[in-house]
Structure 1
Amino acid sequence: MTNAETSTDTPHIVICTTGGTITASTTPEGAVLAGDSDPATHAMLDGLRAVLPEEIRVSARTVLDADSSTFGPAEWDLLVDAVADVLSDPGVSGVVVTHGTDTLEETAIALDLHHDDPRPVAITGAQLPADHPEADGPANLLDAVLLAADPVSGGLGVLVVLGRAILQARGVRKWHTTDPVAFARNSPEHPVEDLPPELERPTLPARARFADTRVDVVACPPGADAVALLACVEAGARGLVLEGSGSGNLPPLVADAVARLADDRPDLVVVASTRVPRGEASSTYGGRGGGAELATRGVLSCGYLRSGQARVLLAALLSTADAANGAGGDNGDGGDGGDGAAAEVRRRWARYHLYS
């Protein structure tokens, strides 16, 4: 698609499209297919222009065209680069990213960690395909464009817009598979304005490269052993997000393996998450596998993030720490007292992590 001509006296919003349910179609058998959605995208944009206020101009850029369940670190890199490229044009007033809902929470935090521009970036999608008689995509897209065109939205970072809800990116997660209000934000009870400024929404000091940094999420249900965890380490993981129970407690056999890794692999960064959907994961409980005991081994808590966004943040911090310490990852001295990438991530986690 060709970008529309910009105007200096009207808001110009660039829509970066990536496929997803918002432009998906339904087969005669009832399966929803995302990808190869050019006709649906054109129809979506024509419908948008028909209802937008005349003073708002929109143009579009195709970045990806697929179901977002296929997205991963390489796609996060591509989208971060695409949004940065769009915002390099001073004539652009804001950006909207259309995205499948399956992995929207990961893309949202990947973008937000890099977004230090005051211009709004909104990310939206749909729960129903474009050819559904009650498709929610057109209304979500309109809301996202209006939000991105409103100067009041500036400085808030990446905003998730779906089902009339507007949520900041960090702490957001998909909470329902089919409800139009697909996302909720896990956050503390006290308001964001009460938080110290340095913990609100810091951005990275440099560009992270997600595809170059392997971080794995490992489910650790009650009674789990360390087989899956050790397989990820063997496969080359630089970081692990372990999804435990309660406030981030791990089964005993997993905790024993983490203790051994703390001695043998100080270059490996481990974060404790939880399967509980809401509330804070913290280093609270003592004993074998308790969060307080894990913290003595250098294990970090995910706080109000959940495993998907914690994975993105950990990969970003490892990547930028690698760059600061020289290519090739940790410099070998490891440990909390060293200058390696892993030690740097442990030092920086509290600053870049949401509500640490």
Structure 2
Amino acid sequence: MTTAETSTDTPHIVICTTGGTITASTTPEGAVVAGDSDPATQAMLDELRAVLPEQIRVSARAVIDADSSTFGPAEWDLLVDAVADVLSDPGVSGVVVTHGTDTLEETAMALDLHHDDPRPVAITGAQRPADHPEADGPANLLDAVLLAADPVSRDLGVLVVLGRAILQARGVRKWHTTDPVAFARNSPEHPVEDLPPELERPTLPGRARFADTRVDVIACPPGADAVAVRASVDAGSRGLILEGSGSGNLPPLVADAVAQLADDRPDIVMVVSSRVPRGEATPAYGGRGGGAELANRGVLSSGYLRSGQARVLLAALLSVADQAPADDAAAAVATEIRRSWPKYHLYS
């Protein structure tokens, strides 16, 4: 990695590659395969340099080479470290991360929670493999590099760039399996003069280590029982993201187990989300399993975050809290996380 100073007139953008569909190829049988993408990555960079303005310089750093459906907490740790390391060079103007779309929303959240540098980080990918006759990766990468090189992108945090859409990381979600406009952002409408509070983007007070902190997402469809909740607790989960219905409501048997768990294990933090694609999860309804009753038990609501990003946030808060003085009891740590949760999730 270069350490040469780069002026604002000659921006240097570092592309961190992780594999994914943007460099994937298609087998004779029609299967799209990610990994072993060095030749495709080099071709992508050559094509990019051919169309970039001369004053923008790009270099690449391979971080991972795999399908993002295989990514998890260990890969989030690798990418947070890699981006921080790249930005330790003052000559770098911005970072682009190429990433598979399957788990891009989780990585974007993990990066954004740590990104307190004004320089932009853009995450991009593709819905069609590199050898597709209408591959969308090259245009997405060009857009991401141009965005990362533009001073207007400073102080906006991590940005998701696909299909000509530019979205802030918090609240973003993959909304379509094949459409080139792969992502949408779950957020309320705000007039220009009333900027949403999430633009402040509070970052973590320390470095989270995701691989050391287990948080499970549990689907809670109509009629579900408590088997999955108990299994996660028995497996050592520190937190549970409960994906309910409506604005964040749970089936009766799950609600009963959650109530019992709140009494018996106050050290386990529970957050209720919703299977509904858009809108806010709020403690609105009373009654057995209603969000308001859950809130009375200390269960948090995910707001405009959906399950994937809520999981990343909760794991990050638990991990950072673990680095506090050792005499902090687990139940006290959980209480502090419940208190600070609205500060970090979207639109508190």
Same fold flag (TM > 0.5): yes
Asked whether 1:313 is paired with 2:305, we answer no
331, 339, 351: which one aligns with 2:329:
331
Contact 1:15-1:60 within 8 A present in 2 as well = yes
2:342 is matched with: 350
SS at match of 1:288: coil
Give the TM-score normalised by the residue count of structure 2: 0.97
Give me the CA root mean square deviation: 1.6
2:91 is matched with: 91
Query: Deviation string for 1:115-168 (max 9, x for gaps)?
Result: 010001000000000000100000000000000000000000000000000000
1:337 is matched with: none
Distance of 1:23 and 1:208 partners within structure 2: 29
Query: Deviation string for 1:72-119 (max 9, x for gaps)?
Result: 000000000000000000000000000000000000010000001000
Give the counterpart letter for 1:117 in structure 2. Answer: D
Asked whether 1:274 is paired with 2:274, we answer yes
Shift of 1:194: 2.8
For residues 1-356 of structure 1, what are the structure 2 equivalents within 5 Å? 7-8=6-7, 9-191=9-191, 194=194, 197=197, 200-326=200-326, 331-332=329-330, 334=331, 340-356=332-348
Contact 1:199-1:354 within 8 A present in 2 as well = no
Distance of 1:10 and 1:56 partners within structure 2: 6
Contact 2:198-2:346 within 8 A present in 1 as well = no
Shift of 1:3: 5.7
Shift of 1:189: 1.9
Query: Deviation string for 1:255-312 (max 9, x for gaps)?
Result: 0000000111000000000000000000000000000000000000000000000000
> What fraction of aligned residue pairs are identical, expressed as a percent?
86
Give the counterpart letter for 1:351 in structure 2. Answer: K
Contact 2:13-2:145 within 8 A present in 1 as well = yes
Shift of 1:188: 1.1
Query: 1:106 and 1:192, CA in 2 relative to 1: closer, same or farther beyond 3 A?
Result: farther
Q: What 5-or-longer segments of structure 2 have no aligned partner?
A: none
Query: 1:355 and 1:18, CA in 2 relative to 1: closer, same or farther beyond 3 A?
Result: same
Query: 1:192 and 1:292, CA in 2 relative to 1: closer, same or farther beyond 3 A?
Result: farther
Distance of 1:128 and 1:83 partners within structure 2: 25
Distance of 2:213 and 2:45 partners within structure 1: 36
Give the counterpart letter for 1:122 in structure 2. Answer: A
Query: Deviation string for 1:155-202 (max 9, x for gaps)?
Result: 000000000000000000000000000000000122586357577311
Distance of 1:192 and 1:89 partners within structure 2: 35
SS at match of 2:228: helix
The number of equivalent residue pairs is 347
Give the TM-score normalised by the residue count of structure 1: 0.95
Query: Deviation string for 1:18-75 (max 9, x for gaps)?
Result: 0000000000000000000000000000000000000000000000000000000000
